[in-house]
Amino acid sequence: MRLLFLGPPGAGKGTQAKMIAEEFGLLHIAPGDIFRQEVKAGTELGHLVEGIMAEGRLVPDDITIQIIEKRLNSPEARNGFVLDGFPRNLAQAQALKDMLERKGERLDLVIDLVVPEEELLKRSMSRRVCAKCGKPYNLNLDPPEVEGRCDVCGGELIVRDDDKEDTIKERFRVYHEETEPLREYYAKCGILVSVDGCGDIDSVCDKIKMCLLDKGLIREAKDR
């Protein structure tokens, strides 16, 4: 299965992509996670992307495309993959099409998570991450046992740099301008499905699995 999750910041792409990847043995590829790891490790790439991400802008296409192509060509991607946050503009979508074509592959399904903007803002503003081990929390959904401290390592829980209100609004603006046109692009390719991303995490995941079932990508009895 070769899947792609589309949707605005806070729609639940990361949450759902990880669950689907784990359940069906697919490689989860999320450029946002890759960039955050580089920032944490203090690499050259990390220094380059840190400011861009904190401002809510997109990392340049050439850098992002190169990173994704490397992941897609890795042995772990052989059983299939779930893309989460790539592509984010038409140039990246064309690059993805070209790189898959070179391997004789194509996307099976693009899942567009639809959530109203006020709910998106609420979700992103209640997210916290552990400064030490990176474990994510959401103060509304899964708060830590001790306020401000990670349940796993005791590290301090902080707000992601790009989850500050002004940056979230800039990420929405970039989404509407650059990423939203991909809905039409993939609809024209005939592989877009829109899924209501509201409701609890498991119920959204069930709706996604129903789409996979409808498209014949999973078999109910064996895979669900």
Question: Does the annotation count 160 as an active-site position?
Answer: yes
| Residue least distant from ligand AP5 (Cβ) | 32
Residue 7: strand, helix, or coil: coil
Instruction: Tell whether residue 112 is a contact of ligand AP5 (CB under 6 A).
Output: no
Rg value, the chain, Cα? 17
* Assigned token pair, 208: 């996604």
Instruction: Tell whether residue 10 is a contact of ligand AP5 (CB under 6 A).
Output: yes
CB-wise, 67 or 218, nearer to ligand AP5? 67
* Assigned token pair, 62: 């050439």
Instruction: Tell whether residue 125 is a contact of ligand AP5 (CB under 6 A).
Output: no
Backbone angles phi, psi at 91, to 5 degrees: -65, -40
CB-wise, 10 or 209, nearer to ligand AP5? 10
Edge-first strand order for the sheet with 109-114 is 27-29, 81-84, 2-6, 109-114, 192-196
**Spatial separation of the C-alpha atoms in residues 175 and 89, rounded to whole Å:** 9
* Assigned token pair, 205: 């995941």
Question: Does the annotation count 13 as an active-site position?
Answer: yes
CB-wise, 203 or 219, nearer to ligand AP5? 203
Q: Find the binder of ligand AP5 among 66, 102, 117, 141 (CB under 6 A).
A: 141
Number of Cα atoms under 13 Å in the Cβ half of residue 45: 16
Residue from 2, 36, 71, 88 carrying the catalytic annotation = 88
Instruction: Tell whether residue 13 is a contact of ligand AP5 (CB under 6 A).
Output: yes
Q: What is the DSSP letter of 76?
A: G
In the block, tokens 């669900």 appear at: 224
Q: Find the binder of ligand AP5 among 2, 15, 71, 129 (CB under 6 A).
A: 15
Question: Does the annotation count 171 as an active-site position?
Answer: yes
Instruction: Tell whether residue 35 is a contact of ligand AP5 (CB under 6 A).
Output: yes
Piece of the chain touching ligand AP5 by CB under 6 A; list 96-104, 147-155, 200-208, 212-220: 200-208
CB-wise, 30 or 212, nearer to ligand AP5? 30
Question: Could you tell me where the DSSP H helices lie in the chain?
Answer: 13-24, 31-41, 44-54, 61-72, 90-102, 117-125, 165-174, 181-189, 201-214, 220-223
Instruction: Tell whether residue 85 is a contact of ligand AP5 (CB under 6 A).
Output: yes
Cβ–Cβ under 8 Å, residues 87 and 180: no
Look at residues 28, 17, 16, 33 and name the one whose alpha carbon lies nearest to residue 200: 16
Give least dist CB 146 to ligand AP5, A.
19
Residues in contact with ligand AP5 by CB under 6 A are 7, 9-15, 31-32, 35, 52-53, 56-59, 64, 85-86, 88, 92, 123-124, 127, 138, 141, 162, 171, 200-201, 204
Which residues are known to be catalytic? 13, 88, 127, 160, 171
